[in-house]
Amino acid sequence: MVAKPVIVGRSSSHFTRVARIFAAELGVACDLRVVHDLMSADAADYGGNPALKMPTLVTSHGTWFGALPICRELARQSSLRLRIVWPEDLDTPLLSNAQELTVHAMAMGVSLTLGKVSGVPVDNAHRLKMERSLLSTLSWLDANVAEARSALPAERHLCFLEVTLFCLTTHLKFRDTVPTASYSSLNAFCESFAARSSARATEYRFDA
């Protein structure tokens, strides 16, 4: 049993940052329990997640696996009544595809980073395909981010699509996964989102 909710994850992880930004925006104080060994095969190191993935949210009344379920639980726990745009609210092809491709690119980023640290050769066919997939997904997102954002409800406080897009784009730069300088629309969006105190409080860094 824990008094204060705990997010199990890493300060360098983009899915963890999504959860932490939601926690900060929603005013739900959480501790971070760092997953120190990325190669650990012990679910206990990931807050009990048998998939050996982070983030996990551990609270006094239950444990949630994965960024989106965690964000939903944080919203339930929050006393603030924020207007949040969730993936199921994205009911046009443009918005729905933007969300799908953002989460896909995040998963590609995870696989490419793990491939790099575990020594997958640069000319490995699957690695090359993942890189191609990531780059073409980023081009699509860059071309569509402005129109997609202008189609979002104007009165929103928080939007899962925007938070994931921010965490994705900034993480690619942080980990140098692929060059990002040419994605001017994505970078412009990130610059404005980065001014939020939730973004400033969760800047990527490698945990000690």
Ligand X SMILES: N[C@@H](CCC(=O)N[C@@H](CS)C(=O)NCC(=O)O)C(=O)O
- 110 binds ligand X, rule: CB under 6 A: yes
Using only C-alpha atoms, the chain has a radius of gyration, in whole angstroms, of: 17
> From the CB of 88, what's the least distance to ligand X, in Å?
15
The answer to whether the CB of 34 falls within 8 A of the CB of 45 is no
Which span sits near ligand X by CB under 6 A: 64-72, 133-141, 173-181, 183-191? 64-72
By CB under 6 A, what part of segment 138-157 binds ligand X?
none
Q: Of these, 6, 7, 8, 13, which contacts ligand X (CB under 6 A)?
A: 13
CA–CA separation, 204 and 208 (whole Å): 13
**DSSP conformation class of 177:** S
Phi, psi of 158 (to 5 degrees): -150, 145
> From the CB of 113, what's the least distance to ligand X, in Å?
8
Pairing of strands 84-85, 158-159: parallel
Q: Of these, 11, 34, 38, 133, which contacts ligand X (CB under 6 A)?
A: 38
By CB under 6 A, what part of segment 65-84 binds ligand X?
66-68
- 15 binds ligand X, rule: CB under 6 A: yes
Pairing of strands 84-85, 62-65: unpaired
CA–CA separation, 57 and 158 (whole Å): 19
The answer to whether the CB of 185 falls within 8 A of the CB of 96 is no
Which span sits near ligand X by CB under 6 A: 62-70, 119-127, 149-157, 199-207? 62-70
Q: Of these, 14, 85, 141, 198, which contacts ligand X (CB under 6 A)?
A: 14
Which span sits near ligand X by CB under 6 A: 9-17, 74-82, 116-124, 139-147? 9-17
CA–CA separation, 31 and 43 (whole Å): 19
List residues binding ligand X (CB under 6 A). Answer: 13-15, 38, 52-55, 66-68, 110, 114
